[in-house]
Amino acid sequence: MTVHFQRELDSLKRKVLFLGALVEKSVQLAANALESRDTEMADLIIAEDRKVDELEVEVEEDCLKILALYQPVAIDLRIISAIIKINNDLERVGDEAVNIAQRVNIMARRPPVDIQFDYILMAEKVESMLKRSLDAMVNMDQDLAYKVCLEDDEIDDMNRRVYDKVKEAIGRQPERVGYLINLLLVARHLERIADHATNIAEDVIYVIDGVILRHAEDELKSTPD
């Protein structure tokens, strides 16, 4: 491939990284907003999602332009096709952060219930998966991508722990079921973000060696709670 193509591809990757940084920030702010019951911060996350949406459209247009202009083949073609999907995943991460923010706005209107679970820690782990899945993409680092995939189990465990805690808390305070279900669903939004990070890592692995990890993984996946 030409120098021009390489330059365009580098610029495309930079844009994807920027999109990644935007949605990572949203996830982090969403966890903080939850912790501090901060509806202003929640509203900010919801408003800022427009930028994520705009950038997603831009990245997709860039991918189509590059395909039409350079007509890449083999690995270069696979990279562009993976970026089309990664871009899609990142936009949905933004949507999950918005979902959390919307739940924060609902919960902030009611007295808090503490289930003794560290959502900030869970969000940090999820953000780190996301960040490293994108690092793996930029550096075409297969080992790192595999590591990210493995961490998904840890997040699933955390999600299950929230489920147990919420179930227990509903037993003690059945009148707070609405609030508690919102807490459960926040953990599920975080878990979905980890799934998107895993999708990204799997796309990177797929690009590198054509191993279809995704579906082998599916078979190993444990049953939900």
Contact between 64 and a second copy (CB under 8 A)?
yes
Question: Using CB under 8 A, which of the segments 23-31, 78-86, 133-141, 148-156 binds a second copy?
Answer: 78-86
C-beta neighbour count of 163 within 10 angstroms: 15
Kindly give, in sequence order, each residue whose CB lies less than 8 Å from that of residue 108, ignoring residues fewer than 6 positions away.
Answer: 37, 38, 39, 42
C-alpha to C-alpha distance for 66 and 167, rounded to whole angstroms: 50
Contact between 224 and a second copy (CB under 8 A)?
yes
Half-sphere exposure of 134 (CA within 13 A, CB side): 24
Of the candidates 102, 84, 162, which has an alpha carbon nearest to the alpha carbon of residue 126? 162
The residue among 49 and 151 lying less far from a second copy, judged by its C-beta, is: 49
Contact between 84 and a second copy (CB under 8 A)?
yes
Contact between 73 and a second copy (CB under 8 A)?
yes
Q: Which of 8, 49, 151, 152 binds a second copy (CB under 8 A)?
A: 49
Of the candidates 197, 201, 191, which has an alpha carbon nearest to the alpha carbon of residue 222? 191
- Across the chain, how many H-helices and E-strands are there? 7, 0
Q: Which of 143, 175, 209, 220 binds a second copy (CB under 8 A)?
A: 175
CA torsion sign for 95, 146, 218, 157 is negative
Contact between 209 and a second copy (CB under 8 A)?
no
Contact between 1 and a second copy (CB under 8 A)?
no
Tell me which residue has tokens 């995704």.
Answer: 214
Residue 194 CB, shortest distance to a second copy, in Å, is 15
Question: Using CB under 8 A, which of the segments 14-22, 27-35, 79-87, 127-135 binds a second copy?
Answer: 79-87
Q: Which of 38, 43, 95, 124 binds a second copy (CB under 8 A)?
A: 95
Contact between 110 and a second copy (CB under 8 A)?
no
The residue among 31 and 166 lying less far from a second copy, judged by its C-beta, is: 166
Helix (H) or strand (E) holding 47: helix 39-70
C-alpha to C-alpha distance for 73 and 210, rounded to whole angstroms: 15
The residue ranges that bind a second copy (CB under 8 A) are 49-50, 53-54, 56-57, 60, 63-64, 67-68, 71, 73-74, 77-78, 81, 84-85, 88, 95, 98-99, 102-103, 105-106, 163, 166-167, 170-171, 174-175, 177-178, 181, 184-185, 212, 214-215, 218-219, 223-225
